[in-house]
Amino acid sequence: MRELIDNIDTVRAASVQKETWGHLAPKPMATYTGYIVFAVGEYGDTMVVRSHFRSEKAGVLSSSPWYYQDEQDFVSGKRQSVGIYRFEGTYTKRKEPDQCWMNAPCKFEGTIRRLEMR
């Protein structure tokens, strides 16, 4: 019974999130070109310093819960050593999910280079 209630709460939360911030969501199948500057700390924590993506069809990629989650998953999964890095490339949200936007697949393609700290 608890699983059913949790599932209903998850679906309801996703619905409210979509109604509130849906206009900011990445457009499905639009490819955005841009960059992410991120830092990896001494204890393995990762922090996005700045990012900017744009698509000719969809315009500037706004901050949204869905892009934020995709971006955090991407930079946290890179397992770089301590330093500051810049990713340059593309971001594509592959589809609009039925119930939970957080589960929709995305794709980042490009290169990551380490920035010199002075």
Q: Please, are residues 61 and 67 in contact by the beta-carbon 8 Å criterion?
A: yes
Report pLDDT for 85. Answer: 95
Which helix (H) or strand (E) segment holds residue 108: the answer is strand 106-115
Residues composing the chain? 118
Higher per-residue pLDDT: 79 or 42: 42
Report pLDDT for 103. Answer: 59
Q: How confident is the model at residue 5 (pLDDT cuts 50, 70, 90)?
A: low
What the block records as the tokens of 106 is: 């995305």
Which value, in Å, is the radius of gyration of the alpha carbons in the chain?
16
What the block records as the tokens of 8 is: 């209903």
Summarised one tens digit per residue, pLDDT across range 28-62 is 778 899 999 999 999 888 999 999 999 887 778 87
